[in-house]
Amino acid sequence: MLGWELAPYNTGGLGVASLGLTQALAPMVRDIHFFLPDYTGSDSVFSHMNVIGAAGASGVTAPSLLPTSYSDFSSVTHEHSRKALHHGPAAFSSWYAQASVATSNQIHGKTSPEIIHAHDWMTYEAAQRVQDTTTSTPFVAHIHATEFDRAGGSEGHPAIHAIEQAGLTAADKVIAVSGYTAQIVNERYKIPSHKIAVIHNGVDQSQKPLPTSSFPLKGKHPVVLFIGRVTTMKGPEHFLRAAATVHASCPQARFLFCGSGDLEARTKELAAQLGLTGSIIFSPFLRGSDVQKAYAMADVVVIPSRSEPFGLVAVEAIQQGTPIVLTKQSGAAEVLPTVAQADHWDEALLAKHILTLISEPEVARAQVASAQKALTYLSWERAAKQVRDVYDELLHGAPVLNLAS
């Protein structure tokens, strides 16, 4: 496998998904070697696989500055980050490809891996280059988000589009995290539907809800939560404008805004302009147990994304027992059809849903109860079995039943 990040060293859902999938997949395969741009640790959480930093590859010079977060290359709005890093998407992709080939050769020698499984655009060129060194190793391109998603409705970065197009075209199979994403891959990149398998992300079924009585705000103020990367894709401005409407009708409401990204300064300025000063609390990006604490503290979690391939926040919040408001432009809407939904641009409807959920507890409880039934389907074990089915189809011709239509 080739990846970009792994929890707990993650800046978004990609690292969480990569860890959850590999933990469930490990008992079903012989060995997993997981390549990252840079890693020199020995964390016990990765004991199920061999994690390797490509930056240490013999004979390959690493860039003077490696990207430090998924956001560094996530959309055209991050051009300033790319300039600060002294290399653009194509240059980083090329370096990672060289380093991954060297690393793969060190591991496998004259043998070949059975499967090459690459997560998102940053790894696709590397996967193709590794495949070129083998005789017949299949290449699986796992797409967690496209550049169309990250750009939030605009065209995004042409170099990233080119890398995505080449990788998705070269792949022997494409795994999309939702039917929503599969449609984008099919329509925008012209990848035939029979080549795409839809495998929804999972959730840690062993995670138990936290008690909510220990949070001082709980019960005193309705708490509305945004949590995620503060980028165009995630729609922070839609959250704030909906929050202003909620605040006008419910002045006692408090808004908890957790995340980091290139729009942080602009988001705080907008919050002040909308009169939310004193009612909104800003927090940096959260990881690990702090994420679950934020869900437990909230009365409503809002996912206002312009385009959300899946949306792990949605299922994690429901697992905690917190109702959500979700945009229709999301993959999670496919598996949580009974939760409150609105188009991302319909800020009035977003606000209406929030007000209903904080003022009518019985509606909130009914939503959570209905949505939690759907979570029994969303296990990482189920996702891993479907991924293994894809491997078996490529290696042995076994059918894959979960194809995009």
DSSP of 298-316: -SEEEE--SSBSS-HHHHH
pLDDT tops 90 at residue 58: no
Mention every residue, 6+ apart, whose C-beta is less than 8 A from residue 385. Answer: 28
For the stretch 3-37, pLDDT in tens is 989 988 888 889 999 999 999 999 999 999 999 98
> Is 223-375 in CATH node 3.40.50.2000?
yes
Mention every residue, 6+ apart, whose C-beta is less than 8 A from residue 177. Answer: 17, 142, 143, 144, 198, 199, 200, 201, 309, 310, 331
> Across the chain, what does the average pLDDT equal?
88
Six token digits for residue 10:
């993650």
pLDDT tops 60 at residue 83: no
Q: What angle do CA 318, 332, 266 make, to 5 degrees?
A: 90
Distance CA 166, CA 395 (A): 22
User: Given this model, what pLDDT does residue 11 score?
Assistant: 81
Six token digits for residue 215:
């949070």
Six token digits for residue 241:
């404008």
Q: What is the mean pLDDT of residues 229-238?
A: 94
Burial class (CB in 10 A: 0-12, 13-18, 19+), 47: exposed
For the stretch 72-82, pLDDT in tens is 444 333 343 33
Contact 96, 60 (CB under 8 A): no
Can 13-202+379-396 and 223-375 be said to share one CATH topology? yes
Contact 226, 233 (CB under 8 A): no
208 confidence band (pLDDT: 50, 70, 90): confident
Q: Where are the domains of the chain?
A: 13-202+379-396, 223-375
User: Given this model, what pLDDT does residue 112 score?
Assistant: 85
Token pair 């998705």 is found at: 168
103 confidence band (pLDDT: 50, 70, 90): confident
User: Given this model, what pLDDT does residue 67 score?
Assistant: 57
CATH number of 13-202+379-396: 3.40.50.2000
Q: What's the Cα-to-Cα distance from 14 to each of 92, 145, 384, 391, 392, rounded to whole Å?
A: 18, 9, 15, 21, 24
User: Given this model, what pLDDT does residue 403 score?
Assistant: 44
Residue 261, H or E segment: none
